[in-house]
């Protein structure tokens, strides 16, 4: 049994809780929250503790899954907790990953712990697809498309506009760009060419709709660089049609093999010269629940962290360091027979 704890109990923490319950080799020691534990009811009846008490459980928890936000929570939490616990986080601020890695590595090495950062699906499974694609087809081009799915960050950005009660933003891949990428068209897409943004907004009574729409569409980084549509709906419609958190996406690698004989010694005259062939690798996800799926990935990674730690493989890790066998509860013999 792998005994895990969940540190932070929002959507992702709940996803981890439910995923752990689906894996018979896991037991959930408890949920740790900064809120008042008496006011938090877990989905599975798992006990709830104050976040400060987590170190009391150092001997009872094999892996702590940290479910905080990447903006301010994880940069503090993960290095602090990795001194005492084997941990998994889902840090997804791409540009700051190298810095986070170094800080977590220092803490984990000092504590003799194994810490996996940036787990989930992007970063995570999509990162793996990008790595496998590039390693196998070095002469090629990679593209990642996201959606159709709800972007929490973009939804939050809309909610901060005065006169907005609630909002949901869908990121939508542009079909023609997806097709171009599949055909191996070697070009860099602009942000606008790859994705559109669909916003469903609940306005306050009497709000200036034209003004809200303008503010959304002109918001730099979030919407200005995209073709954005804004639909105003009622709170009832939002709850009815947009209560889920679906997401997904596609990583495409196209590349060429063969050919190139000319560069390899002037053998262009040979009749057996192979032509260049085009190969395509595609990895895609279609998720009804982004947080539940992400939680499922984190639980599989927690299993790998548990095994790596047991082998004395300490320090900071990413999905790139995880031997796939470590993600599975199956033995080597079972894996060879059933999955290879």
Q: How far is the CB of 268 from a second copy (least distance, A)?
A: 11
Residue placing its CB nearer to a second copy in the complex, 68 or 295: 295
Choose among 330, 338, 328, 340: nearest CA to 301. 328
Q: How far is the CB of 44 from a second copy (least distance, A)?
A: 4
Residue placing its CB nearer to a second copy in the complex, 64 or 319: 319
Backbone angles phi, psi at 15, to 5 degrees: -60, -40
Q: How far is the CB of 117 from a second copy (least distance, A)?
A: 9
Helices 73-81 and 97-111, axial angle in degrees (round to 10): 20
Residue placing its CB nearer to a second copy in the complex, 162 or 329: 329
First to last CA, the chain: 25
Residue placing its CB nearer to a second copy in the complex, 46 or 165: 46
Q: How far is the CB of 58 from a second copy (least distance, A)?
A: 26
Residue placing its CB nearer to a second copy in the complex, 60 or 139: 139
Q: Which helix (H) or strand (E) holds 171?
A: strand 164-173
DSSP string covering 225-281: TSEEEEEE--HHHHHHHS-SB-EEEEEEEEEEEE--GGGGTS-TT-TTPPPEEEEEE
CA 333 to chain centre: 30
Q: How far is the CB of 261 from a second copy (least distance, A)?
A: 6
A 10 A CB-CB count for 296 gives 21
**Lookup result for tokens 């080799």:** 25
Q: How far is the CB of 197 from a second copy (least distance, A)?
A: 23
Give CA separation, 71 vs 92, 122, 247, 252, 315, in Å: 9, 16, 21, 28, 23
Residue placing its CB nearer to a second copy in the complex, 159 or 280: 280
């Amino acid at each position: 049994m792998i005994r895990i704890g969940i540190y932070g109990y929002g959507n992702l923490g709940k996803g981890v809780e439910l995923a752990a319950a689906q894996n018979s080799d896991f037991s959930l020691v408890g949920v740790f929250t900064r809120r008042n534990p008496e006011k938090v009811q877990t989905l599975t009846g798992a006990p709830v503790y104050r976040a400060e008490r987590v170190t009391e459980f150092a001997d009872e928890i094999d892996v702590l899954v940290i479910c905080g936000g990447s903006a301010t929570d994880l940069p503090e939490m993960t290095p602090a907790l990795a001194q005492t616990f084997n941990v998994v986080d889902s840090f997804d601020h791409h540009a700051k990953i190298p810095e986070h890695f170094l800080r977590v590595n220092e803490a984990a090495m000092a504590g003799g712990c194994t810490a996996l950062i940036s787990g989930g699906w992007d970063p995570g499974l999509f990162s793996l697809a990008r790595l496998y694609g590039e390693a196998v087809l070095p002469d090629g081009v990679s593209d990642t498309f996201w959606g159709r799915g709800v972007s929490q960050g973009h939804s939050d950005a809309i909610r901060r506009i005065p006169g907005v009660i609630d909002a949901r933003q869908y990121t939508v891949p542009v079909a023609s760009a997806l097709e171009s990428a599949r055909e191996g068209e070697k070009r860099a897409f602009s942000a606008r060419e790859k994705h559109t943004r669909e916003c469903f907004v609940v306005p306050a009574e009497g709000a200036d709709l034209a003004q809200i729409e303008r503010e959304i569409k002109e918001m730099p980084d979030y919407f200005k660089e995209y073709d954005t549509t804004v639909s105003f709906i009622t709170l009832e419609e939002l709850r009815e049609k947009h209560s889920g958190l679906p997401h997904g996406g596609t990583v495409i690698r196209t590349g060429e093999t063969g050919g190139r004989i000319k560069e390899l010694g002037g053998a262009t005259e040979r009749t057996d010269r192979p032509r260049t062939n085009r190969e395509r690798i595609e990895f895609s996800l279609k998720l009804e629940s982004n947080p539940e799926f992400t939680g499922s990935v984190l639980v599989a990674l927690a299993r790998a962290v548990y095994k790596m730690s047991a082998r004395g493989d300490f320090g900071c890790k990413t999905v790139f360091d995880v031997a796939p066998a470590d993600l599975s509860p199956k033995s080597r013999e079972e894996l060879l027979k059933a999955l290879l």
